[in-house]
Amino acid sequence: MKEILVAKSAGFCFGVSRSVDMAEKLLAEQGKACSLGPIIHNEDVVAELERRGLRVISSPEEVREGERVMIRAHGAAPAVYEELERRGALVTDATCPKVKMIHRIVSEAAREGRFVIVIGMRDHPEVEAICGWCGEHVVLENPSETSRWMDENPDFCDKMITIVVQTTQTSGNFTECCEKLKKRCTNLKISDTICLATSTRQEEAKALSSQCGAMVVIGGKHSANSLHLAEICSASCPVVQFIERSDELDLNALRNIDLVGVTAGASTPAWIIKEVRNKMSDEIKIEESAVEAVEKEQSFDEMLEETLKPIYNGDKVSGVVVAITATEVSIDLGTKYSGFIPTTEFTEDGSKIEDAVKLGDVIEAIVVRVNDVEGTAQLSKKRLDAVKVWDAVEQAVESGEIIEGVVTETNKGGVVVSYKGVRVFVPASQTDLPREADLSELVKKTVRLKLTEVNKARKRVVGSIRRVAQAERRAATEAIWNEIEVGKKYHGTVKSLTSYGAFVDIGGIDGMVHVSELSWNRIRQPSEVVSVGDEIDVYVISFDKEKRKISLGHKDPESNPWTVFTNRYAVGDVASVTIVKLMEFGAFATVVPGVDGLIHISQIANRRIDKPGDVLTVGDVVEAKITAIDEEKHKVSLSIRALSAPAPAAPAEEQPAEEESGEDAMVYELSAEGEATGEAPVEVDEE
C-alpha cells in the first residue's frame, strides 16, 4: 500500500448532519429525549447520543407522557404523528427536507386518485414512512420484481400512476425500473427523488473504484446508501472491504496493493473516516521506516561540536529570551554566540516591550550581523516574519487555499489587496465585479481570494477573488438544490427585470418571479413593483432539478384580494364601489383593491337606459348591492337598481277632444322590477 485516495463527498449528507445537529441541540436544551428509531445507521454515533440522554424507542407506545420525541431523518407516517399527539408527546421533527418532499408528492397523488409505485427497499424506515402517506401503492425493489408485478397485475397498467424513489437508491436501479414501467404503463408521472448528494457520492465511488486496486467502504451494515456504495465499488474493483469502523480493517489484504480508495456512507461521521485513514497511513509509515537506517545517537563530542559551530549572516536561528533591557532583547542560541534583537522590532506597533516578549519565550530570527571578536550576533525577528509570510504566500499558491485580505487601493488594471503586509494585485477581470462596475466600491472591504501567481524576487503576487466567489456560488447552489422544496421561503435580491418577470438571486441560484406573481394588483411591467438590487421575500412555486429552473412567488397569500373580499362581504351586502370601466353591456366597479364586480346595464337604474354612460362616469363612487358571488371563477355581480325605489308611473295627459288622434294606445306589461316584459301590445278602448 503506497497511496490512499479518499472520496471528496464521503461522510454525512445534509439530512443526516441536520438530524444529528438537532439531536445535540435538543439534548443541550432538554437534557433528555428519545428518538423514534436510531437517529442514523451508525452504532457509535447512536451510542454517544444515548450516553448524553437520547433514548431510542421502536414505537410510539414506548413514549412517556410529555416526553420530547425526535422524528429522525427517515421521516414517519401520519399515523405515527397522530399516536404521538394522542400520548401527549412533544415532537421535534428532523425529517430530511428531501424525504418530506416525497411525502407531499405521494399525498397529492392519493388526493388525485393516482396509484403510487415506490422504488426502494420495502423494509427500510424511509420507505415505510413514505408508504404511510400513500393511498393505494406498491413497493418494488428491482427491475425483475417490477416485471413480475406487471405480469401479475396487468389491469394496473392502464391506471394513473405516480412513481417515486427512495432517496438513497442507485440511479441505475431506478432508471431500469422506470424503463420497464414505461413500456407497458400509459399514464405515468415520474419523480426522480434520489438525493443529489447520494448521486454525487455514488458517481465518485464508481470513478474511484475503477482506478484503485482496492476500495474500503465505511458505513453501517443496515445503511441502504452504504450498501449501495459497496455494490457499486464491487462492480469495478476486485477487492472491496465494507467496514463500520477501523478495527474491522484488514490491512494484510491491502498490503500489496499500491492504490487504495476510501469512501463512506451518509451516516458515517468524519472522525471514523479519519480514524480509518490514519490507520492505513500508519501502515504506510511503518513500511517506509522499515527501509530507513536506524538513527544514530548524538555523542557528547558531537553535541559539543554543535555548540561551537559558527553561524553566518542570513542563517535562521532559534533561542530563548534570557534578558530584556530598554534597548535590546538577549537570546541564548545554544552556541558560542550571544544573540540580541533591538527592542524597536517588538514595539513598532506602539505596544510595550513587557507585553510583547517575556523571559523564557522561544524566539526565531534571522542573523543580520556576526561579531566573532565579541561573540555576538545581531538578529532580526521582523525579517524572519517577512520570510515566513512569503513562504506562506508560496504555499498558498501551491495548495490553492483560500485566504483573506483587505482591499487597500485601486490602480489602472485592478485592485490591491493586503495579505499579512504583502501587496496582492487582483486584475479587474478577477474581482468578480461586472465590467462596468466601479472598482473603488471594494476599497476597505475584506475579501476572500486565491493566490494564482508569485514572483518572490520581484515581490509580485497576483490573486483572484472571482475564483473563490464562483466556487462558493457552486457550493451554495448545490446546498439549495439539496434543500429546496415547494413552499420554502427565501430572502433574495432582484438581479434583472424582463417584460415577463423578475429574476431573483436566492443565494447562488436565480429563480424567476412571473409578472403575475409579483402583485395581486394588475401590473404591466415588473418595474412597477420591484427594481434591480431590491431585497424581497419569495417562496418556491415549482422547480425542475434537471433543467435547473425555479419558479418563485412574491405575492403574500394572506393579502389575496379575493380572500380579503370574501372575508368582508357576502351576497346581499351593500358596498361602496368605484366605477373603473364602462362597457356597452354594463359597468365594472372595484369592490376592494384587486376585485372588480360587474353592474349589468339592466341593474344600473330603475328605468330603461341606452348606455351606462347616461348615468355613470368612471371614478364615481356609488352604493351597490352584491347579488351574486362565483367562488370558482372569482366573479362578482352588483346592482345599483336593487337599492333604488321603483320609478313612479307617468301621469296620463288629457288631450282635447279636437286633438284626439283616434289611434289605439300601446301598453306593455311590466315586471316587478319595472322592466318591460316584451309581451305584445294590448289594445285599449278609447271609451
pLDDT at 12 over 90: no
The three cell numbers locating residue 604: 344600473
CB-CB neighbours of 534 under 10 Å: 12
Report residue 647's pLDDT band, with 50, 70 and 90 as the boundaries.
low
Instruction: Look at residues 32, 62, 96 and tell me which one is the last residue of a structural domain.
Output: 96
Report residue 191's pLDDT band, with 50, 70 and 90 as the boundaries.
confident
Alpha helices in 449-507 (DSSP H): 465-483
Segment 358-373 mean pLDDT:
84
User: Do 554 and 566 fall within a single domain?
Assistant: no
pLDDT at 135 over 50: yes
Instruction: Look at residues 287, 319, 338 and tell me which one is the last residue of a structural domain.
Output: 287
Segment 180-188 mean pLDDT:
89
Q: Which three-class secondary structure state does DSSP give residue 640?
A: coil
pLDDT at 335 over 80: no
- What was the pLDDT predicted at 198? 78
Q: Which residue has the higher pLDDT, 348 or 568?
A: 568
Instruction: Look at residues 150, 165, 194 and tell me which one is the last residue of a structural domain.
Output: 194
Q: Say how many domains are in the chain.
A: 7
Report residue 645's pLDDT band, with 50, 70 and 90 as the boundaries.
low
User: Do 671 and 575 fall within a single domain?
Assistant: yes
Segment 234-254 mean pLDDT:
90
pLDDT tens-digit map of 432-462? 888 888 898 999 999 999 999 888 778 889 9
- What was the pLDDT predicted at 628? 94
- Pairing between strand 376-380 and 338-342? parallel
Give CA–CA dist 418/406, Å, rounded: 5
CB-CB neighbours of 24 under 10 Å: 15
Segment 490-500 mean pLDDT:
91
Give CA–CA dist 133/118, Å, rounded: 11
Which helix H or strand E contains 173, and what residues bound it?
helix 171-184
Alpha helices in 358-464 (DSSP H): 381-399
User: Do 362 and 404 fall within a single domain?
Assistant: no
Least confident of 9-23, 299-313, 593-607: 299-313
First to last CA, the chain: 129
Considering the domain boundaries, does residue 667 fall inside one?
Answer: yes
Can you give the pTM of this predicted structure?
0.40
Report residue 177's pLDDT band, with 50, 70 and 90 as the boundaries.
very high
Q: What is the CATH number of the domain that holds 283?
A: 3.40.1010.20
Considering the domain boundaries, does residue 590 fall inside one?
Answer: yes
User: Do 609 and 496 fall within a single domain?
Assistant: no
User: Do 88 and 118 fall within a single domain?
Assistant: no
Q: Which distant-in-sequence residues (6+ apart) come within 8 Å of 622 by Cβ?
A: 576, 577, 579, 589, 616, 640
User: Do 633 and 669 fall within a single domain?
Assistant: yes
Considering the domain boundaries, does residue 136 fall inside one?
Answer: yes
CB-CB neighbours of 628 under 10 Å: 12
In sign, the C-alpha dihedral spanning 422, 427, 433, 438 is positive
Report residue 650's pLDDT band, with 50, 70 and 90 as the boundaries.
low
Segment 61-68 mean pLDDT:
88
- What was the pLDDT predicted at 352? 83
Considering the domain boundaries, does residue 104 fall inside one?
Answer: yes
User: Do 551 and 591 fall within a single domain?
Assistant: no
pLDDT at 470 over 80: yes
Considering the domain boundaries, does residue 296 fall inside one?
Answer: no
Segment 648-672 mean pLDDT:
44
Considering the domain boundaries, does residue 354 fall inside one?
Answer: yes
User: Do 555 and 580 fall within a single domain?
Assistant: no
Per the structure, the complete domain to which residue 86 belongs is given by 14-96
- What was the pLDDT predicted at 285? 62
Segment 562-575 mean pLDDT:
91
Structural contact between residues 381 and 397, judged by C-beta atoms closer than 8 angstroms? no
- What was the pLDDT predicted at 373? 62
Considering the domain boundaries, does residue 292 fall inside one?
Answer: no
pLDDT at 583 over 60: yes
Report residue 687's pLDDT band, with 50, 70 and 90 as the boundaries.
very low
Q: What is the CATH number of the domain that holds 495?
A: 2.40.50.140
Considering the domain boundaries, does residue 8 fall inside one?
Answer: no
Q: Which distant-in-sequence residues (6+ apart) come within 8 Å of 413 by Cβ?
A: 425, 427, 428
Q: Which residue has the higher pLDDT, 54 or 101?
A: 54
**Residues composing the chain:** 687
Give CA–CA dist 641/198, Å, rounded: 67
Give CA–CA dist 158/386, Å, rounded: 77
- Active-site residue numbers? 126
Nearest Cα to 386, choosing from 369, 368, 371?
368
Q: Which three-class secondary structure state does DSSP give residue 280?
A: helix
User: Do 569 and 667 fall within a single domain?
Assistant: yes
Segment 325-331 mean pLDDT:
82
User: Do 445 and 345 fall within a single domain?
Assistant: no
User: Do 594 and 546 fall within a single domain?
Assistant: no
User: Do 553 and 458 fall within a single domain?
Assistant: no
Q: What is the 3-state secondary structure (H, E, C) of 105-158?
A: HHHHHHHCCCEEEEECCCCCHHHHHHHHCCCCEEEECCHHHHHHHHHHCHHHHH
